[in-house]
Each structure stands twice: as C-alpha cells, then as structure tokens.
Structure 1
Amino acid sequence: MRIDCHQHFWEYDPKRQEWITPEMSRIRRNFLPGDLYPILQDVKIDGCIAVQADESLRETDFLLDLASQHEWILGVVGWADLGSDQLDELLDSYSSAEKLVGFREVLQSKDPRYMLREEFIRGIHKIGQRGYAYDILIFPQHLSASLELVSKCPDQRFVIDHLAKPYIKTEEWKEWKKAMTLLAERELVHCKLSGMVTEADWKKWTTDQLFPYLEIALELFGPNRLMYGSDWPVCLVAGEYEQVYRVVDDFTSQLSSTEKDRIMGETAAEFYKLG
C-alpha cells in the first residue's frame, strides 16, 4: 500500500489558522477530502494520514469525522492536552475511534523544555500504553530536548515530522545531522520525508538542494524507519503536490523495490498500525 503519511484538512478560519500569514495567501481557503483525493489518484497513492493543524479537541473530532466518511483517510493524528489531569477520561472517550492512530502538538512554537515537563512525559506514557504513536513537530533547536524526551519514554513510538525542519534555505546541515544521529540511534524513532520545500526558498528550491537531506535521513534511519509525506496543503506555498511527490519518488528510485515500498507506504502502515 502506498500512503501519504502527512497531510492536513481544514475549513479556513483566520482566527484558528492565524499561522497562515499573508505571504501564504494561496492556502487561505478550505482544503477538504474532495480537493485531495483526485491528486492522490493521479500519483497512485492509496490513502493518507490526516494530521492535526489546530490545537483543539474540535480539530481531532473534525478529522475523525472526515475519516469516517472516507475510507482512504486511513488514520488521524489528533491533538490532546497530554499534560491534563483529565487525559485518562479523554482517552477513554476516544477508545472506539479506530482511525485515531496518534497525537501531535505544535512543539515548534514552544520552549524546548516544554516537552520535558513531568506532566507531559506522563501523558506520553499514557498514550503509549494505549497503543498510540506520537508525532514530534519541532525545529532544529528542539532536537536536544527531543532526545531527552525520547530517552525518558523508551517504549514509545515517535516520528519526527519534516526531518525536524533543517535550515535548507541556508544549506546548514552539520549540527542538524549531529543531533539527528543521536535520535536515530533510538530504534523506535522514525522520520517523515516531508515538509522540505517550505524550509527551502519557496520560489527557487531545486531537487538537487533537497537530495542531501534525504540522503542523510536514509543513512541515519534506513527505509524501515522513513515514510513519505506531502505536507499538503501547506506545501502549496512552495510547489504543487506532484512536485513534492516527485522529489521523494525520484530519490527512492535509486533503491530496491522493497526499500522504496517501505518508504512510500509500508513503514507508515506499520508505524501507525493501520489495518
């Protein structure tokens, strides 16, 4: 199965999506399943994982509702306040939501030490005990704290979104690689090949500029812990879905069919426990 492991849906609201700046005007509108499905068909992707873009339970419920209506939305990575004293009750309320496969918070907007709070780590343990994965959305300056988090939760499945957003625009990679190497040593840490074009120059990026980061990710994690994601529709500020897809498709063409199949879907299916 071929899977886009990372994309978003939303009904645009300037207050809820205040992170969409004026320079991102192209994505200041609704993006719903009817917009994505024809694109996935064109590139022969079988299904997707819908990931939260708003920090609210309303968002989690919205995505689960869409997933219930469209079988090709294979899973939902929702939001929950992992530090809440009512987390157990909340997780109980979602126990019948079969397509809820994990959780995420916008850690990139917070101080790196936020994820090391006792109550947050307690929450990570709780979702892990129930079989949920956790998506780590961060910038490179959060990598050190992320390593501490992972060390404190050794049995938890983690995936690093967007390669931790390396500084592709300025072509800085040495410190990023050093920190990612330490995370990659943890067997339950995976990485998404997603979100690269928006970390490059939106108007001038090239495939050759992105390949070195993909090569480093492949070296560190291997095909069994890498997964393709488009980050649609956010990617549209820098390129069409097909362009983003083609970068990873071309890169994986150098690999064996077995390795390519892992990156283009099988790793995600295994990580998120689909089916």
Structure 2
Amino acid sequence: MVKLIAIDLDGTLLNERNEISNTNLESIKDAQANGVEVVIATGRAHFDVQSIFQATGISTWIIGANGATIHQPNGELFYSTPIDKEDSSKIFSWLEQENFYYEILSNQSIFSPKNGRDLLAVEIDRIISANKEVSTDDLHEAVNKQFSQTGITFMDTYHDLTELDIDFYNVLAFSFHEEKLGKGWEHFKQFEGLSIVKSAHHNFELEHRNASKGNALKMLTNKLNIDISNTAAVGDNYNDLSMLQLAGKSAAMGNAPSEIKESCNEITLSNTEDGVAHFIYSFI
C-alpha cells in the first residue's frame, strides 16, 4: 500500500509549457485525500517550488536541491546538507574561468552571473555558425526556462558572495556544448566531497556527497514513520535514479531516457500526457 509518493518536477510533473496540468493537480489532491503523503523532489530551490504551487491550494513536503534540503509543508527547513565552503569556492572559481553559465542555489536566492545570457548567446551563435540550418528555438527555450525561476539574484562574480554568511546547497552548470560539459564532469567527479548528477541534457549539478533524492527520501520516511516499501516515486532523469531505485514502487516517465526506464518497475505516460496522474491513479 502506497503511503507516500515522491514526484519530480521538470520533465515529470511540469509539462512542455513548464506548467502543472489540471489533471495532474487533481491527482495530487486525490492522493492527499486518500491519505497519501505527497513529496515534491526536485533540483530546484524550495522557494521556487512554493511559487509554482502558490495558486493551487496544495502544500507538500519539498525535497529541494536534489536532496540537499528538505522543507516541511509549512515552509520550515527540516534538514539540509550544504556544500563545504572550500569546495564551493573551488567550484565557482573553475566555472568562471571556463566561461560556464552557472547557478548557485542557497537558502536565500539563486545566484547567477550578470553576464549569463551573454555567455549562452555566444554559445548559440557558435552553434549557428557551425550549422546554419540548425533550429535555435529549443536552445532559446532552454535559456528562458533557466531565467524563469523564482528567486534569481544577479552577481558580477562569485567574489560577491564571499562575505555573506549563507549556505550553498547546489551548483548547476549549463552549456550547449557537449565537450564543455564533459570537461566539467571529468573535473568535478574527482572531488571526494561532491556528488555530480545530470538533470537535463545541457547541464550537470553539484551537491554535497551525501545529498541525493534517495537519501532525502529515506530520511523523510524515517521522520514520518513510513516503511520504504510503502513508497512510490516517479521521475524522468538521472538525478531521480537514487529515489527511483529506493522506492517500493517506481515509474519512469514516457519521455525518460532508456536507462531510467530500465531502472523502474513501470513506465507511465510522458509529461505532456499527464503521466504523473496516470501513475497516481494506478494505486490510489
């Protein structure tokens, strides 16, 4: 019997317009009405998730920053595991040296370089120069999605943050160039204090080595006294694997990569076809 469901956001609960459909919203309400604890598990900041749900009348536990934070339905912080300060400085310095667009998720804001759009515009121009027939609609849409998040604060350089007494939970590095992303992945996978995951085609994300959606889910079930066998999880990407492999019942979205699908008990419909609702109604 499912007593808790963990739901990813991007590519899962959110459709191609980055919205939650009425069908998915109603399925969440129905799950809660049937006594199922609903948890949003995402790489996003908790305040960004709260903004998305603000007009829905729904409040849930939020596993944010890929498991580095857990917030209660009332918004209070229950748990966090920030990146070590020494590691965070090395991350920011290297990404700036390599001309990456990046985002730093803190307990206050999502910090982003002021020249971020310019950096990505240069990458898009290089792609067009190499292949004049390529469509840039998807590229511009990906850029706009990054800048549509709630809570972004622009900075000149990461040095602006050195005097602030805040924790950093997640760093997202974004690029349209596969070789550039690969270079970053190879560089940061050597850091013993970090975990590195992909949540979309054009990024990689860094957290404390103990931060994962799976670890956060385990901690939350202990808090709520729910056996892990009585949990369900649904997601679409590699940062979801830890919770999908842990949950008693797991579903990959129809739009998920084959490796994610192979790791799950079942495959639901895509995020454009209300796959979350389809999964929820299979067990409530």
* TM-score when normalising by structure 1: 0.34
Tell which structure's C-alpha radius of gyration is larger.
2
Structure richer in strand, relative to its length: 2
* TM-score when normalising by structure 2: 0.33
Structure richer in helix, relative to its length: 1
